[in-house]
Each structure stands twice: as C-alpha cells, then as structure tokens.
Amino acid sequence: MIFWADKIDLKSLDLQLEKHLSRVCSRNTNNESKNKPKGDWEINPSMLKIRYLVAQGTYGTVYRGTYNTQDVAVKLLDWGEDGMSTAAKSAALGVSFKQEVSIWHKLDHPNVTRFVGASMGTSLFEIPLKNPLEGYTTLPSRACCVLVEFLTGGTLRNFLYKNRKKKLALRIVIQLALYLSRGLSYLQSKKIVHRDVKAENMLLDNNRTLKIANFGSC
C-alpha cells in the first residue's frame, strides 16, 4: 500500500494526537488522585473561601479567607511561576512540602501559629485579583496552599516599625522575647529547626501574643 505524502494532513494528525494524549494524561492524573491516600492535614477545597490579598512574600502570596467558618490566612505557593523550575525540582519541593506540613499539623503551642490544613493543588480555588472588580483567577495544579489561623496583630516587623519613634516599655520587650524563646524552645524539643527566624516571620494576635510562622518552604 502506497501513501502520497502531499495527501496526508500532518497538522490534523498532530492535533488528533495531541487531543488523544491530553485525554490519556487527564485520565491517568484523575486515577492517581483517586488512588492516592490523603494526609490527615489535607483540606476540603469546597470549604475554603479566599476573600482578599494581604501580602506578597518571598515564597508566596498571602490572602485572608474562611475555612469551615474559621478565620484563616491562606498562603499560596507556586514554585514554577518563574518558568525556571524543572519537573524534578517541583517534585522535590512537593516532597519537602508534604514533610513539613505533616509535622506542622501535629504542633500545639501558644507561641507557634496554629496550623489549620494544606492542599497539594489549587486548581479548584477561586483566587481574587488585586482589584476585586476584576473578578477571580486560578493557579496551576502544581501550586500548593497552607492555611493557618489569621492573626490580626500583623507581623512583629510591622509592630516594631510603627513604634520606631518611641521607646517600647521594657516589659513589652521582655514579654515578646519570652514568647519567641518559648516558641523556639518548643520547636527544638520536637527536633525542628526554623530556617528563617526574623521579625517578619513572627506574628502577633490582638493581645500582642507572639507566634512563630513560616516554616521552611511554607
């Protein structure tokens, strides 16, 4: 049997092949998702409502939201957003992410931010744009999110900056130092080393109680 090359629509064949591969990949991904055991830290995406942007950080973007009536801070992490991350690097970061949240959700201390849950994918979330009137967007499925209690006092860095022109009372300074040392001591007792101890990773509640946040890539 002989085929004439100029009679074959190669572009059409490419499109058909691409559609077929897309269906196969989608089916495999769905099967893997169904068969993959969930961690007890994983959230139910349908119960999360992301309300508005709070801050843009080095490792992700923070939003305020609600999860099952709880007031939460939602930190979104997209390791491939710079277009430079390889599949292997993203996979390694995903493994590290799982390890960190599986430890964090077991922590319970008044000077460590209370962990609510996490998700290995964000494609089901509606994420508000900077201008609320512009509606919502989504992130790639590779992105992850972490939910922690929302603390209204902001960061220790902002608190110190606001009070830079006046001398803080010694009792306040000592109390903040005690909160920090107690939190770090607790982490050390759990054999956890916080890799980024700085004022902007320390949060305050409305009673000025300091809580440690942002572990590793989270």
- Tens digit of each residue's pLDDT (9 = 90 or more) over 107-148: 999 999 999 999 876 656 677 666 655 555 555 556 788 999
User: Is CATH 1.10.510.10 the right assignment for the domain spanning 45-80+89-212?
Assistant: yes
Give the chain's mean pLDDT: 78
Q: Catalytic: 71?
A: no
* Annotated catalytic residue within 9, 14, 71, 196: 196
Question: Among 85-99, 142-156, 172-186, 203-217, which range has the highest average pLDDT?
Answer: 172-186
- Give the residue with greater pLDDT, 26 vs 185: 185
Q: What pLDDT is stored for residue 140 in this prediction?
A: 53
pTM passes above 0.75: no
Joined tokens for residue 138: 């989504």
Look up residue 179 and give its DSSP letter: H
* Contacts (Cβ under 8 Å, ≥6 apart) of 202: 155, 156, 157, 180, 210, 211, 212, 213
Provide the residue ranges of all domains of the chain, joining segments of one domain with +: 45-80+89-212
- Rounded to whole angstroms, the Cα distance separating 210 from 203 reads 6
Least confident of 21-25, 28-32, 59-63, 69-73: 28-32
- CA distances 206 to 100, 101, 128, 153, Å, are 27, 26, 26, 5
pLDDT tens by residue, 82-115: 455 566 766 777 777 887 888 888 899 999 999 9
- CA distances 160 to 63, 152, 164, Å, are 23, 15, 6
- Give the residue with greater pLDDT, 6 vs 142: 142
